[in-house]
Amino acid sequence: MTTPYTPRLSFVVVARNDDYGGHFLERMQIFLDNLIKLGGELKLQAELIIVEWNPPADRPRLRQVLQMPKLPGSITLRIIEVPREMHASLPNSDRIPLFEYLGKNVGVRRARGEFVMVANPDVFYNESMLHFFSSGKLDLKAFYRVDKYDVGGVTIPSQGTDSRSVLSLAPKNVIRINNRYGEGILKGEKIWSWRNIRRRLSYLKQIARHFPFAPPYANAAGDFFLMSRASWHSLRGYPEMPTHSLMDGYICYMAAALGLRQIILPEPLRIYHFEHHHQGTETRPWTDTGPYGERCLTMLKTQKPWIPNDANWGFGDTDLPEVSLS
């Protein structure tokens, strides 16, 4: 019996071929090429898990329409499918075509890496970040966050565009920086402009009303959240709720309450993301912010994580269809 490959890092994303946000296949292709081609050059020891959630009946599967890069020996690719029938059995399945965080739990539950990096399938990393993934020291007793740089005002590169060309385009066309203070700096605005100083002071004043000390960095955590596989299993993944927001915030507070140290990766490490529309989100049920704030504050005060999932989190008792490439 062949022993499964045990990578240093597992990357987990969730997707379906529905053209979410427009030019979705082009954006996901950039993610694939960036991670697999450039990561492979740096001998990144990793697996990429794509959870294909509720594939549309009238469209081909992702592996049929994406240009799968040639996999280097150090990276494997696994595609796990959550069938339409399983999706349809969930509350609000008629209003939410893709349960992002339940899908991420499916991947995390089945990941083999010592550390698990949960992301979205349309981000991409600069070379400093890829160097960090391949050779940077990771702490089992920490969780990692980083700022996200939104790129806009340009035509999204087509499938087959060289990864380094995309990386050279991104820094010149940043329109927004998402940091721990929220959606921040706009294109052409100085980092320490009075507008940004006022924004940060307003944020800190607002936070001070609810939290006696600095809260975890929860903004845009769905795009980048990294911690050990053991910690993911201790927390039983993201809260599995029939809504579509705030689960990425919850996991930050859960990890902090577990006693993990927050590490915010500094410049020059960056993730980029092409700006796109968010069609359909206005009809989806939002997570109630009242209980969210109360639970997060309680976790910080008691240093005990809220763990709502049972032992079957991430469909742990279900065999799901999987295609493995190496």
Domain CATH code at residue 259: 3.90.550.10
Is residue 64 within 8 Å of residue 305, measured between CB atoms? no
pTM above 0.85, yes or no: yes
Mean predicted confidence (pLDDT) in 117-144: 96
Residue 283 pLDDT = 77
pLDDT band at 160 (very low <50, low <70, confident <90, very high): confident
Distance CA 235, CA 254 (A): 7
pLDDT band at 212 (very low <50, low <70, confident <90, very high): very low
Residue 42 lies in a domain: yes
DSSP for 95-160, written as a single string? T-S--HHHHHHHHHHH--SSEEEEE-TTEEE-HHHHHHHHH----TTEEEE--EEEE-SSPPPPTT
Residue 126 scores a pLDDT above 80: yes
pLDDT one-digit tens code per residue, 40-74:
999 999 999 999 999 999 999 999 999 999 999 99
Residue 2 lies in a domain: no
Residue 4 lies in a domain: no
pLDDT band at 192 (very low <50, low <70, confident <90, very high): very low
Residues 6+ apart with CB under 8 A from 157: 26, 30, 165, 166, 169
Residue 310 lies in a domain: yes
Q: How many domains would you assign to the chain?
A: 1
pLDDT band at 159 (very low <50, low <70, confident <90, very high): confident
Residue 251 lies in a domain: yes
pLDDT band at 211 (very low <50, low <70, confident <90, very high): very low
Residue 198 pLDDT = 64
Residue 326 pLDDT = 73
Residue 131 pLDDT = 97
Chain centre distance of CA 111: 15
* Interhelix angle 247-257/289-302, nearest 10 degrees: 10
Mean predicted confidence (pLDDT) in 182-201: 57
The more confidently predicted of residues 324 and 188 is 324
Residue 103 lies in a domain: yes
Residue 199 lies in a domain: yes
Parent domain of 233: 9-325
Mean predicted confidence (pLDDT) in 173-182: 86
Mean predicted confidence (pLDDT) in 218-244: 96
Q: What percent of the chain has pLDDT over 90?
A: 76
Residue 3 lies in a domain: no
